[in-house]
Amino acid sequence: MVTVSVCMIVRNEEAVLVRCLDSLAGVADEIVIADTGSTDRTKKIAAAYTPKLYDFPWGGDFSAARNFAFSKASMEYIYSADADEVLDAESRQKFMELKRTLSPETEIVQMRYANQLRYNTTYNFDAELRPKLYRRLRTFRWTGPVHEAVELSPRIVDSEITVFHMPQSLHSPRDFSILEKAAAAGSMDERLARMYAKELFISGTDRDFLAAYPYFAAVLHDEARSLDEVRVAQCVAAHAARLKNDGTELFKAALKNVIAEPCAEVCCELGAWFFRKGDWEEAATWYFTASSGVESELDVRTSGSIPLLCLAQCYEKLGMVQEAQNCRAKAAHCA
């Protein structure tokens, strides 16, 4: 049977920490908790479960905190947990079975991460596979009887274990504060920029979009950026320009997007622009396009419920009552 270190970073998690740690009973061979500055009972609760409780000064960097927690682990595998996650009885039993049967050559185990959509900020699915269990020390192996090479690809296993993400509030204000600093410092890579844009579309306020606009607008004029980066930036820039009532910048971003392969987010922005101008027919054209045949870049709702509900409003303005009712009914059964 393999051994598992549960590694966590926490801060003011007294409302959910017991629930999380109790759900890991029998799974964890040791628990490592790095506290980043709790002012409630979090540390007292954590101390009842593990002697490996450490203070880690918060510097606005989740990776640094997780790396510190990982460095204190001593078991064969590390399970990365958050305080607002829960394993139910079925998944806990599957985890125990995994520990008994896992091949020692496995380096990463993916588990189904089930989001509570009310507090989802960056993920578009009810559940999706996500790496959760990692071999602490990696062994490099030579492969091939001749022309041998070191195997570099990790050995990944997809499990049937479900981790339930059950937060009690949105994390967006915290996230946006960190993301804005990263953008200003020029430390935003392509992956993080896409996550930033996703979080903006799923839970961002007008203020968040306007704060992000300078970064994403600059991407549009940077020839070194990839096509994927540019398409993400077009979505954010179009939305922010519409908020600023800047038609020139909106259409600069939007037209470059739709002339190639339009995405639903940009189509929705054009629909919103024309709706505000009172041009219900043109607005309906773009909302219809968003809901029928194009894909979303960042938020699946922009190719589902959002344009359908907006299209219903357009139809109502045009006196097309039955069509509006059909759109609302369809919206109720999609993302």
pLDDT per position as a tens digit, 286-298: 999 999 989 999 9
DSSP state of 59: -
Query: What pLDDT score does 124 carry?
Result: 46
CA dist 250 and 272 (Å) reads 11
Mean pLDDT (whole number) for 142-170:
89
In the chain, the percentage of residues whose pLDDT exceeds 90 is 83
**pLDDT tens string 86-122:** 999 999 999 999 999 999 899 999 999 987 555 455 4
What is d(CA 191, CA 106) in angstroms, rounded to the nearest whole number?
25
- Segment holding 16, helix H or strand E: none
Query: Which pLDDT score, from 0 to 100, does residue 174 have?
Result: 82
Highest CATH level, class, for 172-331:
mainly alpha
Q: How far apart are the first and last CA of the chain?
A: 42
Task: Quote the pLDDT of residue 307.
Answer: 97
Could you report the per-residue pLDDT of 48-94, keeping only the tens digit for each?
A: 999 999 999 999 899 999 999 999 999 999 999 999 999 999 999 99
Count Cβ atoms below 10 Å from residue 239 Cβ, excluding itself.
28
Q: What is the pLDDT at residue 324?
A: 96
Secondary-structure percent of the chain, ordered helix, strand, coil, rounded to 5: 50, 15, 35
The CA distance from 32 to 73, in Å, is 7
**pLDDT tens, residue by residue, 157-183:** 999 999 998 887 666 778 899 999 999
Question: pLDDT exceeding 70 applies to what percent of the chain?
Answer: 95
Q: What confidence tier does 229 reach under pLDDT thresholds 50, 70, 90?
A: very high
| Spatial CA neighbour of 175 closest among 151, 153, 158, 192 | 192
Choice among 162-171, 245-254, 308-317 with the minimum mean pLDDT: 162-171
Q: Which part of the chain has CATH 3.90.550.10?
A: 4-165
CA–CA separation, 14 and 12 (whole Å): 6
Q: What is the mean pLDDT of the chain?
A: 93
Helix residue spans in 244-331 (DSSP H): 247-258, 264-276, 280-291, 305-317, 321-331
Which of 241, 216, 188 is closest to 298 using CA atoms? 216
Q: Is 185 exposed, middle or buried (0-12, 13-18, 19+ CB in 10 A)?
A: exposed
Q: Strand pairing of 127-135 and 77-80? A: antiparallel
Spatial separation of the C-alpha atoms in residues 65 and 9, rounded to whole Å: 7
Radius of gyration of the chain (CA): 24
Tokens of 135: 């071999």
Mean pLDDT of 12-30: 96
pLDDT tens digits, one per residue of 174-216: 889 999 999 999 888 999 999 999 999 988 999 999 999 999 9
For the entire predicted model, the pTM comes to 0.75
263 closest CA partner among 223, 213, 298:
298
In the chain, list all ranges with CATH 1.25.40.10: 172-331
CATH class label, 4-165: alpha beta
- What is the pLDDT, as a whole number, of residue 271? 97
Which is more confidently placed, 141 or 136? 136
Is residue 125 pLDDT above 80, yes or no?
A: no
